[in-house]
Structure 1
Amino acid sequence: MPTATAAPDARVLMWFRQDLRLEDNQALTASCEWARTHLARLKAIYIATPAQWALHDVAPIQLDFIERHLNLLATSLAALGIELEVIQLDSFDEVAHFLKDYCQSQRVGAVFAGAEPEINERQRDQACIQAGVPLQLIEEHCLLAPGTVLNQSGEMYRVFTPFSRKWRALAAERAISPLGVPSPVSHIAVDPAPIHLPRVTTVSSELWPAGEGAAQRLLTEFVAQKVHRYKQNRDFPAIDGTSSLSPYLAIGVVSARQCVAALLHRFPEAIVDDTSPGRTWLNELIWREFYRHLLVAFPALSKNHNFNSQAKHIRWRNDPAEFRAWCEGRTGYPLIDAAMRQLKQTGWMHNRLRMVVASFLTKHLLIDWRWGERYFRQHLLDGDLAANNGGWQWAAGCGCDAQPYFRIFNPMSQSEKFDPDGRFIRKFLPELAAWDNQQLHHPSVRSCDDLFDTQALAYPCAIVDHRAARARALTVLAVLKKAKVG
C-alpha cells in the first residue's frame, strides 16, 4: 500500500466505547494502520456522559468497573505510545457538535470506533456523520454483524433455533482468528494520569478482578476446566460452573470472537456437532448475538416496547409494596430472596436465578417486566440492554421466541431442583441457617402465626400463594394467546 504524506500534526482518533481492550479490537487495529499509512499521530478518546448514564440507569458498580478498566487501558495504550483522553460531556446530544469542532481544531483526518446496537448510540453516531465527523464504524460487538444472519426472505429471524442454525452455518465458513495487540505506533513515553469518572456515584467492583489479563484467564480456565461439565452444572447457583465472563463482555474487555475462538480451539466440533460438550456454551454465546441482532432489527426494543404487541393488553397489578419486597429479598420464598440478595451484594446474579426471579415478578406478582428490567440495570455489573431486555421479555412471555405465558416457574420446585442442599440459599440468607431443607424449599410448612418462633419472626411469610398466583396469572396473561409480534 502506498504511503501518503500527511499534513503536519495530522491526527487520527480511536474512540473507545464498549470495547475497553487492546486485543481483538478491530477499530483500534484499523486506527493504528491508518496512522502508519498517513504518517499521522494516533490519539485515543473516551467520552464520559454522566447524564446519559443516569438516563440509561447504568449501575454504580458497572461505572466503577468501567473506571478501573479505563485506568488499565490508559496504561496499556501508553506502552504503545498512545495517549488516552477522557472527555466529559453531559449527554449524547452534545457529542456530534463537540467532535466536529475537535476534529477541525486538532486536524483529525479519521475517527475509528466500534458500532453499538442500541438506538441512542446509533443515533449519536449518525448525528456525528451528518455533522461531518470523519467517523468510520466497525461492526465488532458481535462475531457476525447484525443484518448478516437472515432467513430466506431476507428478514431477521424471530425464533432462536433457526437463527442459531444459520449462525453456525455462516460462522463455520469463516476463520475465527482474534487480532493481537497492535504494534506500538510511537516511541514517545506517555505517563497517564489517574482517571476518575466525573459526577457519578460508584459502588466498589473489587470482588471482580479487572483487566484483559483477568478476563483471558477466566476464559482459558473455563474452557479448559468447566465447559465439559457446563451443561450439567450451569443451572446450580451453588456450583461455580459458569464462565463469569458477562461483566467483561458487557464493557468489551473480552470480545465475542475471542470467546468463540477459545471454545472452538478446545472443542472444534461444537459448531457442527449437537453432542459436543462445547455446544451448550456456544448456544449461550449465540443467544447473546440473537438479542443484539434483534435490537438493531427492531429499534423499538430499545424504547421499552413489547415485542409481542398483544402484551399492551396485559393488566399489570404493579403493586409498589410487593415490588419493594421483591427488590429487597423479602418475598418469603428463600430462593427468590437469596437471588435478590446476591444481586444487591455482588452486582451479579446466576442466570438460572435471573429467569426464576423474573418469572416470579411478572407472573406471580403481575408486575410489568419493565420495572424489573430497570431494577436489574440499576444494579448489574454486567448490565447490557440487549441481553437484559431480551431476558426480561422472554420471562414475561411477551418477547421474541419467549417462554409461553402459561409456563410459570414454581419457586419451590426450582429451589428443590437447583439448590437441593440449600447451600446457595443459606449463603445469602444466613438467618435461615438453622432451617432444614424442607423448610427452605417449602417455606409454607412453617407456621407464620407462631409468635414464639424467632426464625419465623426473622424471615417474612410468603407474600403470595403459589397456586393462587399461578391461577391469577393464567387468567390475566391469556391475552397473549393471540401471538402477534413485532
Structure 2
Amino acid sequence: MQLIWLRSDLRRHDNTALAAAAGRGPTVAVYLLSPEQWLTHDDAACKVDFWLRNLRALSAALGELNIPLLIRTATRWDRAPEVLLKLCRQLRIEAVHVNEEYGLHESRRDAAVALALHAEGIAFTSHLDQLLFKPGSVLTKTGGYFQVFSQFRKVCHERLHRSMPSLVKAPGKQAPLAIASDPVPDAVAGFAPPGPSLRALWPAGEAEAHRRLDTFADAQIDYYQSERDYPAKPGTSQLSAYLAAGVLSPRQCLHAALQSNQGEFESGKAGAVTWINELLWREFYKHILVGYPRVCRHRAFRPETEALPWRDAPDDLAAWQEARTGLPIIDAAMRQLLETGWMHNRLRMVVAMFLTKNLLIDWREGERFFMRHLIDGDLAANNGGWQWSASTGTDAAPYFRIFNPLSQSEKFDGEGVFIKHWLPQLAGLNKKDVHNPAALGGLFGVADYPAPIVNLGTSRERALAAFKNLPSRSSTGEGHE
C-alpha cells in the first residue's frame, strides 16, 4: 500500500507524487491539520478556509478514483513523524510519497519524517512538483545560487530550450479499498471562516482553477503586459491563490502560456512572455529560500540592512493596517486586501514602499500583516516582494528609488475608478482631486477621510538618509554574483 501525504498540492491532475504512488500500487491519501504551526507561520484565516474547501473538492475527485482521503491532526509539525508513523503501521504502508516543499521548517519536518519512517523500513520518496527546476540545479558559474533575477532567468531559458517539463498523467481508477474517506472539517480552531462574499471571489476546486487559466490564456494574456499594472482593469490572471495551494501547477500554467504563444517563451506575444517571466520570479524566490535560508528566519537578505534605524511607530503602523493613511491609493489597496484576501501586484509594491520608506517601519511588520490576510500568502513570494520593496533583498529596488504614491496613483488609476470603488466617500471628487484630497484645503478636507499621516517629501529624505548611513555593501561580502 502506498500513501501520498498531501500538502500544498491539492489537485488530481499533474500531481507528481500522486501519480508516482498510484503507479506503484493501491494508494491512500492523507492530509495533516496543523493549526498551531499555521498560526506560527501567520497563515491567513481565509487561506486556511481556502485549503479546506479545496480539500473537500479533492476528496470528491479522489473518491472517483477509489483513493480515500484521510484527515489527521499534527498540531505542530514536530508531531508529524509520530502521526504518520502510526497511520503507516495501521495501513501497512510500504512507501510515503510527497511533493517537495521549501523553507527551513518544511525541510526539517520532512527530514524528521523520513528518518522516522526509514527506521521502520518504510520508504519516504519526495518529488519535484511545485517548481520547474529543482533548487540547486540552476546555479552560477561558481556554483552558487543566483542573487540577480535576470541572470537566473537566462539560465532557466537555456534549460527550457533544451528540455520542457512535461505534464504528469492523472492516475486511473484503482480497485476499491475497505477504507472510508474522512470528512473534511468546515473550520479549524483559531481560524475564523471568512464571510460568503470573500468565499464567492475564490471558488474552490481544479475545475475553477482551470476555467480561470483557460479564460486568461485564451482571452486576456495578450493584454497582460499592457494592462497588468492598472488595478481597475482585469489585467491579471487571478491564479495566485490556486498556485499557492497547489490546485494548479506551474507546469500547467507554463504549458497554457506556451500554447497561446505558438510554443515561444522569449519571443512572440509580449503578454505571454511577460507572464512566463512572472512564473520564473515565483521560481526564483523559492530557490532563494533554499540557497539563503536566513530569509526563512526573518532576516534581511542583505545583512548590512539589519542596521537600518526602523521607527517604532505603532500609530502609523495601525493607520496603514486599517486603511486610514490619508493617501487614497494606499488606503484603497489596503481595503482591497482586508475585504478580498488579495491585493493587486502593482499596489503590493506601492503600499510596501510607503510602509518601509515613507513611514520607515520594518518590512517584517508588513510581511507579517500580509501573510495574516492574503489568500495567496506564500513565504517565498511574500518575503521576496517585501524585501525587494524595502531594498533589503535580492535584486532589490535601489534604495533611492521610492515610489511616490500620488504619481503611482495618477499613472495607474488615472480616472480614480479603483480608489472610488474601495473608498466610496471619495466618489464625488473629480479625477484630479481623488488622488490627493488634502490638496483641496479647507478646514476639514473631505468628510470621513483623514488627512495624510506623513509628508511624502520629508519622509522620503528621511529614508534616503537612513540608507546612505548604512555600512557599505562591499564590507559585508554580499555583493551580487
Q: With the length of structure 1 as denominator, give the TM-score of the two structures.
A: 0.93
How many positions carry a matched residue from both structures? 467
Are 2:241 and 1:209 aligned? Answer: no
Are 2:282 and 1:297 aligned? Answer: no
Output one character per residue of 1:38-81: Cα deviation in whole Å (capped at 9) or x when no partner: xxx31100001000001001100001101100111111111000
Q: Give matches, 1:21-100, under 5 Å.
A: 21-35=11-25, 41-100=26-85
Q: Which amino acid aligns with 2:162?
A: E
CA contact (8 A) 2:226 2:271 kept: no
Between the aligned partners of 2:384 and 2:447, the Cα distance in structure 1 is: 38
CA contact (8 A) 1:215 1:245 kept: yes
CA contact (8 A) 1:79 1:189 kept: no
Shift of 1:299: 1.3
Q: 2:150 corresponds to which residue? A: 161
Q: 2:459 corresponds to which residue? A: 469
Between the aligned partners of 2:117 and 2:179, the Cα distance in structure 1 is: 30
Between the aligned partners of 1:178 and 1:443, the Cα distance in structure 2 is: 52
Percent identity over the alignment?
A: 42
Q: Which amino acid aligns with 1:147?
A: G
Q: 2:375 corresponds to which residue? A: 381
Q: 1:5 corresponds to which residue? A: none
Q: Which amino acid aligns with 1:377?
A: M
CA contact (8 A) 1:178 1:258 kept: yes
Q: Which amino acid aligns with 2:280?
A: I
Output one character per residue of 1:3-43: Cα deviation in whole Å (capped at 9) or x when no partner: xxxxxxxx2101000000000000000000111xxxxx311
Stretches of structure 2 that go unaligned for 5 or more consecutive residues are none
Gap change, CA 1:273 and 1:189, over 3 Å in 2: farther
Q: 1:230 corresponds to which residue? A: 224
Q: With the length of structure 2 as denominator, give the TM-score of the two structures.
A: 0.94
Shift of 1:168: 1.0
Gap change, CA 1:294 and 1:268, over 3 Å in 2: farther
Stretches of structure 1 that go unaligned for 5 or more consecutive residues are 1-10, 36-40
Output one character per residue of 1:296-324: Cα deviation in whole Å (capped at 9) or x when no partner: 11111111110001111100013000000
Are 2:141 and 1:148 aligned? Answer: no
Q: Give matches, 1:254-269, under 5 Å.
A: 254-269=248-263
Gap change, CA 1:200 and 1:75, over 3 Å in 2: farther
Q: Which amino acid aligns with 1:296?
A: V
Are 2:290 and 1:312 aligned? Answer: no
Q: Which amino acid aligns with 2:6?
A: F
Between the aligned partners of 2:145 and 2:174, the Cα distance in structure 1 is: 40
Q: Which amino acid aligns with 1:473?
A: A
Output one character per residue of 1:382-436: Cα deviation in whole Å (capped at 9) or x when no partner: 0000000000000000001101111111000000000000000000000111111
Between the aligned partners of 2:62 and 2:136, the Cα distance in structure 1 is: 32
Between the aligned partners of 2:409 and 2:217, the Cα distance in structure 1 is: 28
> Which deviates further from its counterpart, 264-273 or 42-51?
264-273
Q: 1:112 aligns with which of 97, 110, 113?
A: 97
Output one character per residue of 1:127-172: Cα deviation in whole Å (capped at 9) or x when no partner: 1112234211112110111111111112111100010010011012
Between the aligned partners of 1:276 and 1:411, the Cα distance in structure 2 is: 27
Q: Which amino acid aligns with 2:328?
A: P
SS of the residue aligned with 2:401?
Answer: coil
- What RMSD in Å do the two structures reach over aligned CA positions? 1.6
Q: Which amino acid aligns with 1:228?
A: D
CA contact (8 A) 1:177 1:257 kept: yes
Q: Give matches, 1:169-248, under 5 Å.
A: 169-187=158-176, 192=181, 194-196=183-185, 197-201=187-191, 202-204=193-195, 205-248=199-242
SS of the residue aligned with 1:237?
Answer: coil
SS of the residue aligned with 2:70?
Answer: strand
Shift of 1:275: 6.5
Q: 2:364 corresponds to which residue? A: 370
Between the aligned partners of 1:442 and 1:431, the Cα distance in structure 2 is: 13
Shift of 1:372: 0.2
Are 2:443 and 1:450 aligned? Answer: yes
Between the aligned partners of 1:334 and 1:262, the Cα distance in structure 2 is: 37
SS of the residue aligned with 2:385?
Answer: helix
> Which deviates further from its counterpart, 414-423 or 267-276?
267-276
Are 2:242 and 1:253 aligned? Answer: no
CA contact (8 A) 1:398 1:480 kept: no
CA contact (8 A) 1:79 1:190 kept: no
SS of the residue aligned with 2:117?
Answer: coil
Q: 1:3 corresponds to which residue? A: none
Output one character per residue of 1:248-282: Cα deviation in whole Å (capped at 9) or x when no partner: 00010000000001111121453232764411111
SS of the residue aligned with 2:264?
Answer: helix
CA contact (8 A) 1:338 1:424 kept: yes
CA contact (8 A) 1:149 1:156 kept: yes
Gap change, CA 1:198 and 1:438, over 3 Å in 2: closer
Between the aligned partners of 1:144 and 1:459, the Cα distance in structure 2 is: 48
SS of the residue aligned with 1:47?
Answer: strand
Between the aligned partners of 2:447 and 2:457, the Cα distance in structure 1 is: 24
SS of the residue aligned with 1:210?
Answer: coil
Are 2:116 and 1:131 aligned? Answer: yes
CA contact (8 A) 1:223 1:262 kept: yes
SS of the residue aligned with 1:463?
Answer: coil
Gap change, CA 1:357 and 1:193, over 3 Å in 2: same
Are 2:9 and 1:19 aligned? Answer: yes
Q: 1:395 aligns with which of 384, 389, 397?
A: 389
Q: Which amino acid aligns with 1:93?
A: D
Q: 1:433 corresponds to which residue? A: 427
Between the aligned partners of 2:15 and 2:90, the Cα distance in structure 1 is: 27
Q: Which amino acid aligns with 1:468?
A: T
Between the aligned partners of 2:194 and 2:469, the Cα distance in structure 1 is: 41
